[in-house]
Amino acid sequence: MEKYNVQIEAWAPFGEGRNNMFSNETLAEIAKNHNKSIAQVILRWLTQRNVATYPAMPNAIIIITKIIPIINFLFIFYLPFYQFFLSFKWS
Note the pLDDT tens digit of each residue in 20-66.
888 889 999 999 999 898 888 988 888 888 888 877 666 666 666 66
Which residues, other chains included, contact 2 with Cβ-Cβ below 8 Å and sequence gap of 6+? 50
**Does residue 50 or residue 77 have the better pLDDT?**
50
Q: Examine the pLDDT at 89 and tell me if it is beyond 90.
A: no
Mean of the pLDDT values across residues 68-87? 63
Q: Is 10 helix (H, G, I), strand (E, B) or coil?
A: strand
Q: DSSP strand E in 7-90: where?
A: 9-10, 52-53
| Residues linked to residue 53 through DSSP beta bridges, in sequence order | 10
Per the CB < 8 A criterion, the answer to whether 31 and 38 are in contact is yes
Q: Tell me the pTM.
A: 0.56
